[in-house]
């Protein structure tokens, strides 16, 4: 039986999406991305850094019809992860369960509902931040918001503290009107606030300077000149969102229980969290971070980041731990970052003549 588009009304699809817990929902027609030229230029400028998969899949990313043959429409959704919570060493989006899993479960449920409504299986594919598509482009085309100067998708009633997901379908659905206006005006708070100057111009991010990239995607050493700018941020960064007036006004309290901070983050400041990470074994890491998006950085990456944070916010009482890490940690990269941190603490100490070997 051929799926019947006429019985899968767009308003009912969006109502079902809201019923499943999504905060925004829109529909767009698949095709060449409106940002294709900008994306290609961004790659050409080297702003993707080590994220080579971006270039490998660029042809697919710039045309959403190539994700899977025969697909015609996309239901684009957003789910809030709060934004009112205090800042801390871990970006708000990564403090709870993996958002990929949380959202995919709901998108699959939406797909099953559409199948039942259409009276036959509707070929399709759900994506949450992992497929070769430009999610922000689809979301803007589906009417969910505009591209802020911080490169985030901003909704005029919800700000930007939300995840995006898409359900691509072999259905001809009436599309929503694209979001056509820009509400950033003359504001440059995000550009001015970025600790590393990663926002090189409005709506252009040099990922190789972004703290989220440096603490998550970068697999090697963090450039020394950028380490002090990371401050107390162990994983990710919220600065360009926290300072945005649209979030100041519209960010909400956390509503999704799965995104609540896990026990290992509760009531810990950056220094204590960094110490805990440097002392953590692989077995402890596997238990504590099971089902967490923070697993992406792996233990070696988190320890590297933790050493940098101790170099920035640590005290002389952290010297012994950093010396142990420098001398005994199996990962050379972590040892070198611990040596750098020791030098940083030395410069802040009362005995500037003593040097810590690195």
**Residue 12 belongs to some domain of the structure:** yes
Using the predicted structure, report yes or no on whether residue 350 has a pLDDT greater than 70.
no
% of the chain beyond a pLDDT of 90: 91
Residue range 258-295, pLDDT digits in tens: 999 998 887 689 999 999 999 999 999 999 999 999 99
Using the predicted structure, report yes or no on whether residue 352 has a pLDDT greater than 80.
no
Number of domains in the chain: 2
Per-residue pLDDT, 228: 98
Please name the residues in contact with 66: beta carbons below 8 A apart, sequence gap of 6 or more: 59, 60, 132
The confidence band for 355, taking pLDDT boundaries of 50, 70 and 90, is: very low
Question: Cα separation of 237 and 219, whole Å?
Answer: 17
Question: Cα separation of 90 and 294, whole Å?
Answer: 9
Using the predicted structure, report yes or no on whether residue 356 has a pLDDT greater than 50.
no
Using the predicted structure, report yes or no on whether residue 232 has a pLDDT greater than 70.
yes
Average pLDDT of every residue of the chain: 94
Question: Cα separation of 209 and 191, whole Å?
Answer: 13
**18 and 162 share one domain:** yes
**Residue 246 belongs to some domain of the structure:** no
**162 and 218 share one domain:** no
**Residue 110 belongs to some domain of the structure:** yes
Dihedral (CA of 270, 273, 277, 283) sign: negative
**148 and 212 share one domain:** no
Q: Which residue has the tokens 């499943």?
A: 20
**Residue 252 belongs to some domain of the structure:** no
**Residue 227 belongs to some domain of the structure:** yes
Please name the residues in contact with 147: beta carbons below 8 A apart, sequence gap of 6 or more: 136, 140, 153, 154, 182, 203
Per-residue pLDDT, 353: 44
Using the predicted structure, report yes or no on whether residue 172 has a pLDDT greater than 50.
yes
Residue from 121, 128, 131, 129 nearest 169 by CA: 121
Per-residue pLDDT, 348: 84
**Residue 124 belongs to some domain of the structure:** yes
Residue 285, domain extent? 196-236+262-348
Using the predicted structure, report yes or no on whether residue 245 has a pLDDT greater than 50.
yes
Residue range 112-162, pLDDT digits in tens: 999 999 999 999 999 999 889 999 999 999 999 999 999 999 999 999 999
**293 and 336 share one domain:** yes
- The residue from 116, 134, 169 where one domain ends is 169
Per-residue pLDDT, 1: 47
Structure tokens at 213: 């990239």
**Residue 293 belongs to some domain of the structure:** yes
Average pLDDT over residues 93-122: 97
Average pLDDT over residues 148-177: 97
**231 and 273 share one domain:** yes
Structure tokens at 176: 């929503």
**42 and 119 share one domain:** yes
- The residue from 154, 169, 184 where one domain ends is 169
**225 and 326 share one domain:** yes
Residue 50 main-chain phi, psi, to 5 deg: -80, 0
**147 and 220 share one domain:** no
Specify the higher pLDDT residue, 265 or 66: 66
Question: Cα separation of 222 and 282, whole Å?
Answer: 22
164 and 139 Cβ atoms separated by less than 8 Å:
yes
Please name the residues in contact with 312: beta carbons below 8 A apart, sequence gap of 6 or more: 227, 228, 230, 231, 232, 344
Residue range 23-33, pLDDT digits in tens: 999 999 999 99
Average pLDDT over residues 31-57: 96
Structure tokens at 185: 């005006």
**99 and 155 share one domain:** yes
**200 and 341 share one domain:** yes
**48 and 151 share one domain:** yes
Average pLDDT over residues 297-319: 97
Q: What is the separation of C-alpha 121 from the centre of its chain, rounded to a whole number of angstroms?
A: 32
The confidence band for 8, taking pLDDT boundaries of 50, 70 and 90, is: confident
**Residue 253 belongs to some domain of the structure:** no
Per-residue pLDDT, 85: 94
**203 and 111 share one domain:** no
Q: Which helix (H) or strand (E) holds 26?
A: strand 24-29
Is 206 considered catalytic here?
A: no
CA distance readout (Å), 222 to 76, 157, 206, 209: 35, 37, 15, 10
SS (H, E, C) 109-128: HHHHHHHHHHCCCCCEEEEC
Per-residue pLDDT, 6: 59
Using the predicted structure, report yes or no on whether residue 351 has a pLDDT greater than 60.
no
The catalytically annotated residue of 40, 63, 115, 129 is 129
């Amino acid at each position: 039986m051929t799926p019947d588009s006429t019985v899968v009304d767009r308003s009912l699809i969006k109502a079902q999406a809201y019923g499943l817990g999504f905060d925004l929902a829109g529909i767009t027609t698949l095709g060449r991305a409106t940002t294709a030229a900008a994306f290609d230029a961004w790659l050409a400028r080297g702003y993707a850094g080590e994220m080579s998969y971006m270039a490998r899949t660029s042809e697919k990313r710039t045309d959403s019809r190539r994700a899977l043959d025969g697909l015609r429409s996309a239901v684009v959704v957003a789910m809030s992860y709060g934004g009112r919570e205090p800042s801390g060493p871990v970006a708000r989006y990564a403090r709870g369960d993996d958002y990929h899993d949380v959202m995919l479960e709901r998108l699959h449920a939406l797909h099953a509902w559409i199948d039942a409504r259409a009276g036959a299986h509707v070929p399709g594919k759900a994506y949450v931040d992992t497929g070769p598509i430009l999610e922000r482009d689809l979301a803007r085309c589906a009417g969910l918001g505009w591209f802020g100067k911080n490169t985030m998708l901003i909704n005029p009633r919800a700000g930007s503290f939300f995840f995006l997901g898409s359900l691509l379908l072999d259905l001809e659905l009436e599309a929503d009107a694209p979001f056509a206006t820009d509400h950033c005006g003359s504001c440059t708070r995000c550009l001015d606030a970025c600790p590393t100057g990663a926002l090189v111009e409005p709506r252009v991010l040099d990922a190789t300077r972004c703290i989220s990239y440096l603490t998550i995607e970068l697999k090697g050493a963090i450039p020394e000149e950028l380490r002090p700018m990371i401050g107390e941020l162990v994983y990710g960064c919220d600065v360009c969102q926290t300072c945005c007036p649209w979030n100041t006004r519209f960010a909400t309290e956390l509503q999704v229980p799965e995104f609540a901070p896990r026990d290992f983050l509760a009531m810990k400041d950056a220094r204590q969290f960094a110490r805990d990470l440097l002392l953590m074994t692989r077995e402890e890491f596997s238990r504590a971070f099971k089902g967490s998006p923070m697993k992406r950085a792996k233990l070696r990456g988190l320890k590297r980041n933790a050493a940098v944070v101790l170099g920035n916010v640590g005290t002389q009482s952290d010297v012994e731990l950093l010396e142990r890490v420098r001398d005994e940690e199996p990962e050379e990269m972590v040892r070198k970052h611990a040596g750098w941190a020791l030098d940083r603490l030395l410069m802040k100490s009362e005995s500037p003549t003593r040097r810590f070997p690195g």
